[in-house]
Structure 1
Amino acid sequence: MIACTNCGKVETIVKAGFIRGKQRLFCKGCELYFTINPPNAASNKKSHQTTIVDIAKVLGISPSTVSRALNNSSEINENTRQEIIRVANELDYRPNLLAQSLHRGETHTIGVVIPDIQRPFFAGVVAGIQKVASEAGYRVMICQSNESHSTETLNVQALMASRVDGLLISHTKETNSFEHIKLHLKKGVPIVHFDRVCEELETAKVIQEDFEGSFALVEHLIQQGCKRIAACAGPVDLLISQKRMAGYKAALEKYGLTIDQNLIFHSDFKEEDTLSALNQWLEMPNRPDGIFNVHYANAIEMIMALKQKKILIPEEIALAAFGDDLLASMIEPSLTVYNQFPFTIGQEAASILIDNIINKENFVPYTKVIKGKLIVRKSSKKN
């Protein structure tokens, strides 16, 4: 029994809710409000998330009644429901969203696996994904594979263990086995690929104009008067690199220019590889007068190196590259690029995945191509 701290009476004490986690009491005899610490307060200083059991104990009712009231069940009297809500607010009750979601068989969470979050392209994609997902009421869990196939596999396992409703993925440059994706596809998990896709899997895909964009860049260099155009490509087995190199070769063939294998270098996108290729080309007796890069960051590295060597851009060597970001427009000379619109890629990928999640039984996978844009800047503009 609890006695009033003022008059000492017990029979006049009634409960009056909670304040800052403490039981609030009222003495009807002397009209005094006062609080007491909850039992074992000293041992409970660690944060404790209020549960429906805690609410039920305060009100002297069953946890099932509390649960039904908080879920707006018509079985619960309105006055009872309002009192339960009042106590829940005073106890700072927060529903366990994960438990509720698992009970419904969904989490309203999307998993995303990307190779490198530091690359502006993938940061832009994630921003697009986040915007669409948030507007649709989905949370986003992002994992980075660091261009490692084993890390990518572990990321997928972790996201599936977290019961994501669907998966968005862009593969690493070393991924050539897709068993970790096939496993979950067989289980009916909605999966959408973007950028670096796997064509052997029956999933929806969001891609950019790899062939068309590269063709446009090389054609532009040719129209500026370039006759010997080198190509700094990506890994030989990387699908997007293959498509971009196909565009490069098609443009040369259209204008009757020779495809010189000595002017084609397959890199790992590393700066040291890129600069090694550049130095080899510059030592040729008939060096290139134009360079096409499948990745704009490598072109920026080349521009910096050429400036140090006092080689005029674009007068002696013109450059153009696939992809764009703020640095490409700010460097001097500014870089001619083919903009992929990564934010739009992210938006489309998220929209398709959510459609797949909602209409799982009737969804038919398809490929969405995001149109890009040739942006001509100083690094290539001779005329």
Structure 2
Amino acid sequence: MDYLVNINWNKITPCLVLLVLEVMLEFSECATPVEVNKHLDLGRDFLARGQLSDALTHYHAAVEGDPHNYLTYFKRGTVYYALGKAKFALQDFTKVLEMKSDFTSARLQRANVYLKLAQYSDAKEDYLQVTYADPYNEEALSQYHRIDELVEELRLVEAYYRGGEFRAAAELATRLLDVSPWSAHLRQLRAECYIALNDLFSAVSDIRSVNRLQQDSTDGYYRLATLLYRLGHVSDSLKEIRECLKLDPEHKKCFPFYKKVKKIDKLLLECEEQSSARQFGACVDSAAKVLRAEDEVTLVVFEAKKWMCSCLTKDEQFAEALTACGGALELQRDARLLCERADALLGLDMYDDGERHTRIPNTHVHTRRPGAAARRAPAV
């Protein structure tokens, strides 16, 4: 006991006081059984009304108030499942089974999560365990006997992809995704097939889904940003590449791409603002800068040439406008561009050509510009 005599109690007493206060605070913050039950009741009510986010809030509180109640984890896992939050649903159902391994409903729900994730071997094992506990469970029996077919189809998708049969792979992946919509692997595989088939819009949709399923994926954000850029959606591309840099500010691919896209986006925005302000010469200069910075990605080049065509026409530089409009139309047919070219032709006194070009887009439901150009021809 001599060591107690040598202790400097003046120094230790404040620490002991703080420790006691912390323990008392923890006890005071613990929810009472009444409060936990209230959260469970509210969670059930919100769940019955389909207000899943509100239900989840109360189940969170119930779990915090009573972290040893397996039923509370099960209820929260069910809400996660309904919200499509596979990762958290899986965690809660696994926690339930750690606390009560014979809870068949939790095992069946976990098997369903595995199935939606295309983790077929894990799903098969859980379905099998359910049939041991409940031999007449029709859902478990049906899904258990279905798994081998799904495994074979997944193998075929991968084989088709490796063999370059992208359309067949995409079609079979689509069928599998009806069963396993939370599979990032399947969506990524189908996205790669769509890219190979030059269906970039469909690829973008799948990669967005992959990024939601695999949060914090710098490669996913980079891939999405590059696809959007190829589609000419520069502002959207900039938004996605910024998400990559939030995760890794010095990412080797994202950072240089960000600098390029930021510059292009700024110049295209200047084109729009300068055109609105009737600063057509400045608009032409900004469009020319875009073309100097980007000469490979067709749809970005198209956006720049479209502004060049529009602003040159409005600036009454009709000869140059005719060349710019023609260059843009070689890349993509566009009703508004046809109107601009018609205006340029009329400005050059080429009335027959101008009138002919106005007839084409007059049937286009999204623009009324051709009428203005057409009205100029009879005036001369």
TM-score by length of 1: 0.23
More helix by share: 2
What TM-score, normalized to structure 2? 0.23
Higher strand share: 1
